Chains A and B, each alone.
Chain A
Amino acid sequence: MDKEYIKGERLNPVIRHPTEPKCPVVLLIDTSESMAGEKINSLNSGVNLLINTLKNDEIAHKRVELSIVSFNSVVDVIQDFAVVDDMPVVNLNASGFTSMGQAIITGIDLISTRKEIYKSGGIDYYRPWIWLITDGEPTDMGPRNGKYYETYDDVTASGESINMPESFFETWDNVIKSVHDGENKHNFAFFAVGVEGADMQTLSEISVRAPVKLNGVNFKDMFLWLSKSLSNISHSGTNDQISLSSPDIWGKITPK
């Protein structure tokens, strides 16, 4: 029998290895000013370690599709979904504020769009992951009962005290609803990792799962854990639901 009798790569030129089920992962990476120095250097090394580890995995390199979104004063999709084979070395710089809310919405939108591509191409996929890494607190959103409800000090531009725009609170409401609905409807799994200085209380309000506080700048072990978890998932056949191992080696779960 010739290969063309089996549904194959020719069916979807957009997606590499289309006969392999896809394991989509979005990394939302805080590149605000506070991440400068050792944190961003360790983070860059960690992300590249993740990519290289997955590249060397015979199955995961065909199945894991990574998207990388950086956020500071602006949100930047520096890498749309792709298998790791196609990824260049990542070198992020840190500056500016922390547009975490918009980054989360962007990540959810990326997943929604990618799922549509999978569906239209008849490509199987695992439940997507969103992996948020931050050392701060969002500067583009906050709860109505939070400390920013009355006023907001814009410390960058003019130093004037200005009233918070309604969009600040709407973004928060939208993010909370989107993340919680997405988890409850099993649209994705959302994980939050706080680096030293992160507002863990805020992360625990955003994430349905308990956030994890990174030990120091141990991005290396975190990304090795992530690559191992993704390998396990991508190696699983249908029917194989995977339990994640404890993150103890690189972080501490913050009880909600």
Chain B
Amino acid sequence: MKSGWLARVLSNILGVALALFFLVPMLWFVFAPFNEHATLSVRIPENFTLNNFQVVFSNETAVRSLLQNSVIISGGVMVLTALIATLAAYGFSRGSLPGREIITYILILFSSVVTGTASLVPIFVLIYNLGMFNTYQGVILATVGGMLPTSIFIMRDFIDGLPRSYEEAAMVSGASPLQIFRDIVFPTLRPGVLVVAVMAFVSGWGAFLTPLILIRNASMRPASIAFYQFYSDEGSPNIPLVSTYAVLYTLPALLLYLFINARYGFRFFGGIKQ
């Protein structure tokens, strides 16, 4: 079995190489913020310092971007996407709209063909004409629009997996449509709503191009753009500060994910466990 032995060694070497490929940037990410003279190479800080954090926190624009602008934009995207996707998917799943299957798939198709960079110019024109240029709402709406097709598709799967008899039992019990949605449908769909909400939050948090073209005021731009605060006038980054800001920028999304996973657990498929 000589060839088997060789294959195992090779696959282990490949595995280690892959692991290093992904691990090294992570290590840099952990070490660089605490090193006053960080470069692009991975190095354990010789003189451990929190000075970088001090400098970053003293930059008012960067702090506001992180704690205010990004929070407003991502929070808005999250709430709006979860709400609209749930209601729309409910209609798609339960309603008797003719051709709803086709509509759902066209939505998905369009979202994967016409998103992002290709649609930036029309989005800019649209938002500008709606009078929402340089506002949070403009960025929120544009991002929500991009998120909705996938979110509706995911929510529809969850709702399709929800037995109709739950709603019917509630109807017969005397509940109004609003009560049914609040007491029965929404709570049983919560795993799906959470998946969509977190996806939307992360997408809003990480959005770069859309806020870049839709918001002109530096004081209103989200953290993803505020990184430029730590670039010199010639356009070269101050690596210790950029890495520090990157850590701060990553934390909220990470914490949100950990919190929801610990509290509710994630499920990426529909259906009710009986």
Please say whether chains A and B are actual partners in one complex: no
